[in-house]
Amino acid sequence: MGVRRRYTALMLVTEQVQTLLTRERSLLSDLQAFLSLQGAPEEALLQTRQALANLDESFLLVVVGEFNAGKSSFVNALLGDAVLPEGVTPTTDRIYVLVHGEKGAPEATSDPFVVRLRLPLTALEGVALVDTPGTNAIIRQHQVLTEGFLPRADLLLFLTSADRPFTESERQFLSLAARWGRSVVMVVNKADLLETQAQRDEVKAFVEAGARAELNLTPPVYLVSARGEQRGGDAGFQALRAALQARLGEVERTRLKLSSPLSAAAEILGAEERRASAARDTLKTDLETLSSLEAQRQRHHETMQGELDGQLNRVGRLLGEFEARADKFIDQTLRIGNIRQLINSRGIEQHFREQAVGDLPQAIERQFASMIDRFVEANLHFWEDVQAFLIRRQPSSEIARTRFSYDRHALIEGIAGSASRHIEEVTESQLTRQLAADTEEAMKGVVGLGAGGVGVGVIGAVLGATLAADFTFIFSGLALGSLGLLILPAKRLQALRQLRLKVTELRESLEAIVRREYEREQDRADARLRDAMSPFTRFIEGEQERLNSAQAQAAKLRGDLGDLKARVGEIGTR
């Protein structure tokens, strides 16, 4: 008869147990589906599947302890037969599962490190006894095997040695057992080394205190001598056997068998809840990150506007200085005493260029170049700040192996990558070329240029030429025969008004154009940041919704676990 059929038949002796078994299978299946949906680590899914499979296995009585605690000798004494090799060095390099049956060769299992031995021993009826490698064995694989088998145990027999009771490695292993909610019986082997009752009482009290500190409860402690039992009998062993017979009676064994997967489920669910809590904390920080980036963007925008205002004020001062020179030129030129000069329009134009226009084209050219340089520099610094800020955003170690962390990391890398590409493009002066081209295109309409392309450095010269031509036209409209005493002052006033109007229009048009192109370029930079951030923003919103829903599901699962544990604890009381 197979293990599954034998143990299931044992457990389904009452309608109460059958109902609890059905509920437990359903709960573990729900937990497995929940973990899969949440993208939990594969280890958690494997542990849940194992907990579900454990319901169909024999009751697992697992013997653990350090390699020199005498586990193999203890198991042989407990079974009353030399079934395992004994020695002073680590002799067990596999986990041996001893079950009742006809004796045969060791049987391989799906796990290459687990071997099944069938023995015709009465002590193994209804129980599978598991011998594990030492928890402190020199071969690291031994400890991995032992800790990996721990969640499957229904009852732990934890061996320590009377000559080295409760070592640090044993403390650590017991804390692991406590985390998984395992039932533990403490066994102090080699008690024959303790010569007096006072020594025995002292060791027992020491082990009890250590176990209480790690397990938060006081498990039973038995002092035994495996060697003494093999040589003719040991009182401590007799007491342990009597206690095990009581613990492994049908009712108590069934209760423990159903409790073990529930304790494992509680630990698995708790780990997922801790990961979810870490993810929520991370998302909270991510929201603060997005808010910080938006605040940086807003501050950058305001800084750029302030920078633009300063640059435009400098352009305005250049035009104001030109206006003052032109005003002076008109006032001094349009006079009766300058009739001979006024007849020569070419000379008037040349003088206007020299005295009024002066270095206005070069000054405007320099100002445009400075404006574009400052724009590029400010944007470059902004994107460098964004990139540096994102580099500091590392996922929590609590969520390092989940789908959440992988998706989140990829999205942050996307934003940082966008920043890096933007920095590269700015460094290559693409932004400079684009801003200059946009400004040139817009300026054509203002200064009346044709379709041919011009450079930023030509704009100032074109402005100067246009102003000179405009005022030359005013001057050339004056005929010698019409220069009366009243006409010339009127022409001078007309020229001054036209000068101020022209400069005002130029200032307003220039400011409107530059602001428009400045805003266009800034909008492009803002759009790039928003485009890079939008998948991350959607991810955060989706994860928040998922985690809120998961929190409610986890709470329900935990409530069902608690109720089922209470029902299992009532087995045999009705």
Q: Is the pLDDT of residue 279 over 80?
A: yes
CB 265 within 8 A of CB 561: yes
φ, ψ at 240 (rounded to 5°): -65, -40
**Which is more confidently placed, 471 or 16?**
16
Q: Is the pLDDT of residue 489 over 90?
A: no
Beta-ladder partners of 156: 62, 184
Q: What is the pLDDT of residue 470?
A: 54
Distance CA 323, CA 503 (A): 7
3-state secondary structure of 139: coil
Q: What is the mean pLDDT of residues 174-188?
A: 83
Exposed, middle or buried, 327 (CB in 10 Å: 0-12/13-18/19+)?
middle
Q: Is the pLDDT of residue 277 over 50?
A: yes
Q: What is the mean pLDDT of residues 233-261?
A: 85
Q: What is the pLDDT of residue 217?
A: 75
**Which is more confidently placed, 529 or 569?**
569
DSSP string of 505-553, one letter each residue: HHHHHHHHHHHHHHHHHHHHHHHHHHHHHHHHHHHHHHHHHHHHHHHHH
Q: What is the mean pLDDT of residues 520-526?
A: 75
**Which is more confidently placed, 518 or 105?**
105
**Range in 302-306, 351-355, 390-394, 531-535 with the lowest mean pLDDT:** 390-394
Give just the sign of the alpha carbon dihedral 390, 393, 394, 399: negative
- Crossing angle (nearest 10°) for helices 235-247 and 250-333: 70
Give just the sign of the alpha carbon dihedral 89, 95, 96, 97: positive
DSSP string of 374-395, one letter each residue: HHHHHHHHHHHHHHHHHHT---
Distance CA 312, CA 508 (A): 10
Global pTM? Answer: 0.61
% the chain with pLDDT above 90: 10
**Range in 10-19, 525-534, 548-557 with the lowest mean pLDDT:** 10-19
Strongest mean pLDDT among 340-354, 372-386, 555-569: 555-569
3-state secondary structure of 159: strand
Q: Is the pLDDT of residue 227 over 80?
A: yes
Q: What is the pLDDT of residue 139?
A: 45
Q: What is the mean pLDDT of residues 53-81?
A: 82
Beta-ladder partners of 189: 161
Q: What is the pLDDT of residue 421?
A: 63
Distance CA 91, CA 113 (A): 14
Q: Is the pLDDT of residue 543 over 90?
A: no
Which candidate, 506, 508, 410, places its Cα nearest to that of 463?
Answer: 506
Q: Is the pLDDT of residue 361 over 80?
A: no
CB 74 within 8 A of CB 66: no
Distance CA 25, CA 7 (A): 15
Q: What is the mean pLDDT of residues 356-379?
A: 76
Distance CA 269, CA 51 (A): 12
Token pair belonging to 476: 């050339």
Q: Is the pLDDT of residue 399 over 60?
A: no
Exposed, middle or buried, 87 (CB in 10 Å: 0-12/13-18/19+)?
exposed
CB 533 within 8 A of CB 293: yes
E strand map for 310-464: none
Q: What is the pLDDT of residue 529?
A: 74
- Residue 87 — very low, low, confident or very high, per pLDDT cuts 50/70/90? low
Give just the sign of the alpha carbon dihedral 13, 19, 21, 22: positive
pLDDT in tens, 422-473: 555 544 444 445 444 544 454 444 444 333 333 444 444 445 555 555 555 4
Q: Is the pLDDT of residue 265 over 50?
A: yes
Contacts of residues 270-276 at CB distance under 8 Å and 24 or more positions apart, as own/partner, are 271/44, 272/34, 272/35, 272/38, 272/40, 272/44, 272/554, 273/554, 273/558, 274/398, 275/40, 275/398, 275/399, 275/402, 275/404, 276/38, 276/547, 276/550, 276/551, 276/554
Q: What is the DSSP letter of 152?
A: G
Distance CA 300, CA 382 (A): 7
Q: Is the pLDDT of residue 535 over 50?
A: yes
Strongest mean pLDDT among 38-52, 328-342, 472-486: 38-52
Q: What is the pLDDT of residue 112?
A: 76
Q: What is the mean pLDDT of residues 374-391?
A: 73
CB 130 within 8 A of CB 148: no
Q: Count CB neighbours of 371 within 10 A.
A: 22
Q: Is the pLDDT of residue 343 over 70?
A: no
Q: What is the pLDDT of residue 492?
A: 67
Exposed, middle or buried, 439 (CB in 10 Å: 0-12/13-18/19+)?
buried
pLDDT, the chain, mean: 75
Distance CA 324, CA 515 (A): 25
**Range in 217-221, 418-422, 496-500 with the lowest mean pLDDT:** 418-422
- Residue 326 — very low, low, confident or very high, per pLDDT cuts 50/70/90? confident
> Residue 382 contacts by C-beta under 8 Å, 6 or more apart in sequence?
296, 297, 300, 525
3-state DSSP: the chain helix, strand, coil percent, rounded to 5? 70, 5, 20
Q: What is the pLDDT of residue 202?
A: 92
- Residue 408 — very low, low, confident or very high, per pLDDT cuts 50/70/90? low
Q: Is the pLDDT of residue 533 over 70?
A: yes
Q: What is the DSSP letter of 96?
A: E
% the chain with pLDDT above 70: 72
Distance CA 518, CA 342 (A): 43
Q: What is the pLDDT of residue 406?
A: 55
